[in-house]
Structure 1
Amino acid sequence: MDWKIELIHVPVSDVDRAKEFYERVGFHADHDQQVNDDLRFVQMTPPGSACSIAFGTGVGGSLQPGQQDTIQVVVPDADEALAHLRSAGVEAQGVDEQPWGRFVTFADPDGNAWTLQQLPAWSAGAGG
């Protein structure tokens, strides 16, 4: 039986600002539905990812905007990812060289932190 992570909630304070930011980074806006005055659901997917993020009003868990700091995304090239983020006007830090990979970090306008990891060559064939 396969288990696939498909959606991660990212708490934001301003839905339109968050949507514009993630579009600028390169995420695809899959869904944006204003159900009623109290409920709006936005789903966005990073390029090439099988897992999406969701945010909105009236959705999500107990995390407050800016508290999500546990999302890590694998990228093929940390230098290219850093250059892409900076060219999109995103303050990104990196490249942090570690034995277990090369890392770039950035945050959305609310302070939700993201880590991008380029896997080391020795792990490329190990299923990542």
Structure 2
Amino acid sequence: MDWTLEVVVLPVSDIDRSVAFYRDKLGFHLDHDTANEHMHVVQLTPTGSGCSIVIGDLPSQTEMAPGAMRGLQLVVADAAAARQELLDRGVEVSEITVFDERDGGTFFGFADPDGNTWAVQQIKARAEKPLIPVEARGRFGESG
């Protein structure tokens, strides 16, 4: 039996500000934004990922303090290009650090407006062999 991680709840203080950051600055795909008199829940997914983040105001989404998530990790094929893309979009990012010259040892990081932190790891092999093949991405609601 497969057990797949598909959603991570991210604690934020301002849903609309967070949507603007993750969608407009990071380029995450907006899967859904559902609001009514009882709740507001938003799901966003990084391109190429099978795992999404969910932000909202339901009790399960407000148990952690905004900014409490540390070290969530994204993987890219080219850290320098990804870092530059985020800089061009106005995201404050750290310098690239190479902990190990082997593939997978290069990182940089950033934080969202609430202080949730993200590490971005370079795995060059993702360029030739993405975890979710491009032709399958439409099934996950992604453009691409």
Fold in common (TM above 0.5): yes
Give the Cα–Cα distance (whole angstroms) in 2 for the partners of residues 33 and 120 of structure 1: 36
Identify the residue that residue 138 of structure 2 maps to in structure 1: none
In structure 1, C-alpha distance between the alignment counterparts of 2:124 and 2:23, rounded to whole Å: 28
1:92 CA drift (Å) = 0.4
- TM-score norm. by structure 2 comes to 0.78
Distance 1:39 1:78 in 2: 37
Contact 2:78–2:124 under 8 Å retained in 1: no
TM-score (norm 1): 0.88
2:96 is paired with a residue of what secondary structure?
A: strand
State the one-letter code of the partner of 2:97.
D
Aligned mate of 1:108, from 112, 121, 124: 112
Give the corresponding residue for 1:78.
79
Is the counterpart of residue 117 in structure 1 residue 118 in structure 2?
Answer: no
Identity of aligned residues (%): 43
Name the Cα RMSD after superposition.
2.0
Q: How far apart are 1:120 and its partner, in Å?
A: 6.9
Find the aligned partners of 1:47 and 1:17 in 2 and give their Cα distance.
Answer: 20
Q: Which amino acid aligns with 1:96?
A: T
User: d(CA) in 1 for partners of 2:108 and 2:97?
Assistant: 7
Give the helix-richer structure, 1 or 2: 2
Aligned length: 123
Q: CA deviation at 1:73?
A: 1.2
Task: Name the SS for the 2:18 alignment partner.
Answer: helix
Mapped partners of 2:110, 2:9: distance in 1: 17
- Matched letter for residue 97 of structure 1: V
